[in-house]
Amino acid sequence: MREIVFDTETTGIMPGDGHRIVEIGALELIDRVPTGRTYHTYIDPCRSMPKDAENVHGLSTAFLTGQPIFEAVIDDFLAFIEDSPLVAHNAQFDMAFLNFELRRAGMKELPPTRAIDTLEISRKKHPGAKHTLDALCNRYGIDLSARTKHGALLDAELLARVYVELTGGRQIGFDLAATAEPEAAAVERTLVPARAHHASPEELERHAAFVTKLKDPVWLA
């Protein structure tokens, strides 16, 4: 099964308030395993970057000015995701921004039913716990040392690992058992010829000599 794990960075919280997407990162999973295929782009929001948002992801107005606008990258992104389910943390947020940008570009929106929300999965699996991406990484022993600030592709990579853990780990569908058989078959084996099941003349002679030394054997009682 093909799934796309993705994340966005934005200028703010609400797209209706004039906020825009400034970064998209996504990666491909096949049967819960990353294939190495990724998508990543920065986007010029055609507006200034609020300081609070810049403090979160480190993307400044100066850096984003001159990057491609959303309309220039959306076709490549849609081609990457195809019709696969979309995995995101707090998926309502990312889907709302994507659909706002799609509407603005005069394009068809993505149906909410395509989204798989790891935040909702975590709330059901770990009630009462913290459900931030950082908290889930810490819960599952996922290295966060590279995450000094939010970044769409890095967060998507971390989320992919969290998603695998939230949905049962890498042994979903007994994949490990299925892949072990070909590896075992490849191991070189040395066959030893079967031993004859009757005693040789030499063995019979040694046995007879041994029996003569027994005192009061039970079969003569």
150, 52 Cβ separation under 8 angstroms: no
CATH 3.30.420.10 fits 2-177, yes or no: yes
Q: In what order do the strands lie in the sheet with 33-42?
A: 33-42, 21-30, 2-10, 86-88, 115-117
Q: Poorest-confidence range of 119-123, 137-141, 169-173, 207-211? A: 169-173
The pLDDT value recorded for residue 170 is: 63
The pLDDT value recorded for residue 221 is: 53
- 53-99 pLDDT, tens digit per residue, is 999 999 999 999 999 999 999 999 999 999 999 999 999 999 999 99
The pLDDT value recorded for residue 185 is: 39
Structure tokens at 60: 């400044």
- Top pLDDT among 144 and 32 is at 32
The pLDDT value recorded for residue 173 is: 41
Cα–Cα dist 195/133, whole Å: 62
Q: What is the mean pLDDT of residues 22-42?
A: 97
Instruction: Look up 40 and say whether it is catalytic.
Output: no
The pLDDT value recorded for residue 92 is: 96
Q: Poorest-confidence range of 38-52, 53-67, 204-218? A: 204-218
What 3-state DSSP class applies to 22?
strand
Q: In the chain, what are the domain boundaries?
A: 2-177
Does 126 appear as a known binding residue?
no
Does 57 appear as a known binding residue?
yes
Q: Poorest-confidence range of 64-73, 97-106, 128-137, 182-191? A: 182-191
Does 155 appear as a known binding residue?
yes
Q: Which residue is catalytic, options 150, 197, 198, 207?
A: 150
